[in-house]
Amino acid sequence: MHTETERCVRAVQSKDARFDGWFFTAVLTTRIYCRPSCPVVPPKAENMTFYPSAAACQQAGFRACKRCRPDTSPGSPEWNQRADVVARAMRLIGDGVVDREGVPGLATRLGYSTRQVERQLLAELGAGPLALARAQRAQTARLLIETTGLPMAEIAFAAGFSSIRTFNDTVREVFALSPSDLRGRVPKNAQSAAGKTPGALTLRLPFRAPLNPDNLFGHLAATAVPGVEEWRDGAYRRTLRLPYGHGIAALTPRADHIACRLTLSDLRDLPVAISRCRRMLDLDADPVAVDDQLRTDPLLAPLVDKAPGRRVPRTVDEAEFALRAVLGQQVSTAAARTHAARLVVAHGESVEDPEGGLTHLFPSPEALAALDPESLAMPRGRRATFTTLARQLADGALHLGVESDWDETRRRLLELPGFGPWTVDVIAMRALGDPDAFLPTDLGIRRAASEFGLPSTPAALTARAAAWRPWRAYAVQYLWATDSHPINFLPV
């Protein structure tokens, strides 16, 4: 969008928050870059230039605005609605792969050469993978500086910087303030009480309005596996398996943000934990674009108008979700939770929850692959499906992650015994993040189709749903929401 100058100028002049994260405005006279909704008086059009990423602004010599804090705007929805190399690379960078494995590791995961990845990112985003990862480190550093009392040396390494000098230079360059000055601007009472305890942080996760929390948190709470997930005091809480350790996230819906409380065993996991929580709650979606498309169908329009802004509830761990999807084949939500809870108690890794209630990480594929199949209390066919999936995930024959190619992964899953279209597409929708995944054979969808006069057969319903593309996964949420199932209601 940053190449559509007139459209960008109109968005900036109207301070339209819907475009935050889509592009960034750099002001030639002040050498500052802002989000489109910056509250200051808009600059003259001839003094504006537009960039697709904060990293590109920083590389061009602009520093972040102190008023609108463009580094904290929602991520671009482009990276969650596309499956090309650039989108997959951006998801991996957000997951901290460049900091852990370098650019060669990023390229290996994508199946391209380092040069190809750098060239494509530079062409579309105006910055290469190192610059994009550097911008993310700067954002993480600012978050730690402003919300914790940690020493600057600890913050530097937790944010992913290789040295304190690089940390100091980057913060000064990006924010035009030293780390100490940045902390000094924050009122003492604004610093999180949780942040004073090493490993505990409280922060705000922004999103594009509207956001309807009912089915989003309702789905996560209704399917929560005891010991791994829970709903408590208005928050969805769950354990996280992270690259350097483990964590616990508590997520509470608010009118204009999601309140997030993270307890981490290693602060280096902070960017990854934030990225995975955002992804699970689909916070980088563009609800206006989604709802406008679905409203073109006269049968869906009343559902959208009644409760706009529905998101697709996703996951923090793609392998975990795939295994749970198999456990849920042809059984009720309660039965699937029971099966999963037994596995958690027997094979999950124990964790300590300062607030009590959460006890384990969900078992890893490696732990489940080592099980005696006869110990699984499920029909023989589903047992074979489950153990085959666990083995393939454990030995690397099948990989599910943010970088997965949606079509290729669908094909690989369909080759496994016991995997039909429903299981594959629910994994594509909720684990891989395909916004166009569709479930025409799902019982809830078929009931909704019958109630609203949509075609009843899967083939005919799929043909009718072509008009909803590329947002059929969101249409599924609106159709599911017509049922009285607990997944559709925010817990009390």
Sign for the pseudo-dihedral over CA of 141, 145, 147, 151? positive
Q: For residue 184, which amino acid is it? A: G
CB atoms near residue 148 (< 10 Å) = 24
Counting every residue, how long is the chain? 492
| CA triple 410-411-413, angle to 5 deg | 65
Q: Are 439 and 422 in contact (CB under 8 A)?
A: yes
Q: Which residues of 69-95 are buried (b: 16+ CB within 10 A; e: fewer)?
A: bbbbbbbbbbbbbbbebbbbbbbbbbb
Q: What is the DSSP string of 166-194?
A: HHHHHHHHHHSS-HHHHHHTS-GGGS-TG
End-to-end CA distance of the chain, in Å? 41
Q: What does the DSSP 8-state code read for residue 22?
A: T
The residues near 53 (Cβ < 8 Å, ≥ 6 apart) are 24, 76, 125, 126, 127, 132, 135
Q: What is the DSSP string of 108-166?
A: HHHTS-HHHHHHHHHHHHSS-HHHHHHHHHHHHHHHHHHH----HHHHHHHTT-S-HHH
Task: Give the up-direction half-sphere exposure of residue 144: CA atoms within 13 A in the CB hemisphere.
Answer: 31
- Catalytic residues, by residue number, are 34, 442
d(CA 256, CA 450): 36
Q: Are 473 and 312 in contact (CB under 8 A)?
A: yes
CB atoms near residue 372 (< 10 Å) = 7
Our measurement of the distance from residue 475's CA atom to the centroid of its chain's CA atoms, rounded to an integer in Å, reads 19
